[in-house]
Structure 1
């Protein structure tokens, strides 16, 4: 009998893009909430800011993302304060880390494991188009390399 993997709470932010969850990880002050707000301005929906509950769905490969009750529907806008907005839960599709910069034009694929689930991992891209790149990755299909 396989033991159930317990939920994991991450210091991260998460948004849903086309119903697919994107976990945004990084050190404090790295821009997780700012990136989430930029993605929300492009059509994403908030899942959680600052802490994300990652719960494996029994009998599936799905890692379900949700906010703690105390912060559901709240996101920090640095310099302005907390903003209340619509939110939803979603299954995780990918993770982006703001702690490592990708310099390769066509990078190798990276993965990470969270609460027993293996997910694609993207590194930060130093480009004004980075939010658009993430939107395209979650609404399209990465074909190379």
Structure 2
């Protein structure tokens, strides 16, 4: 399945960042990469179910590339075939005290959090969301 999102690996687990064009997917991905994450894919992610896990990888045509608004397409080291642990939904209002939510992708439920990607704390919140559900390896 081809999914419109960016994806980074944090501590060996993939985080999908979904939202409309211009919502801040690549920007949040870059800030997570600056904090030690690794690029998996930018803008389009190939998702598959393998042994009960959702796996993310980059389409061959865009592997190792990320769009940096104002600079263009940039080459970057990347990871592939990473198990997905979290979906960050951009553009949805972030609730103050949200109830746990999930979205089913390729038949597998993935925890979902809504974040504002342009808040300075957004990368930290993404990392905290991974910890909250015990999803860090």
TM-score (norm 2): 0.91
Count residues with an aligned counterpart: 132
Structure 1 unaligned segments of length 5 or more: list them.
1-7
1:95-128 Cα shifts (integer Å, max 9, x gaps): 0110202132x21111101111100000014742
Query: Paired residue for 1:101?
Result: 93
User: Against the structure 1 CA distance between its residues 127 and 78, is the aligned structure 2 distance closer, same or farther, given a 3 Å change threshold?
Assistant: closer
Query: Paired residue for 1:33?
Result: 26
The residue correspondences of 1:14-25 to structure 2 (distance < 5 A) are 14-25=7-18
**Deviating 4+ runs (over 2 angstroms):** 140-143
Query: Paired residue for 1:12?
Result: 5
Query: Paired residue for 2:63?
Result: 72
1:23-73 Cα shifts (integer Å, max 9, x gaps): 01000110100010010000100000011000110xx22111000111000
Query: Paired residue for 1:50?
Result: 43
Q: Select the structure of larger CA radius of gyration.
A: 1
Kindly indicate whether the alpha-carbon contact (under 8 Å) linking 2:45 and 2:56 is maintained by their aligned counterparts in 1.
Answer: yes
**RMSD value, Cα:** 1.4
Query: Paired residue for 1:82?
Result: 73
Structure 2 unaligned segments of length 5 or more: list them.
none
TM-score (norm 1): 0.86
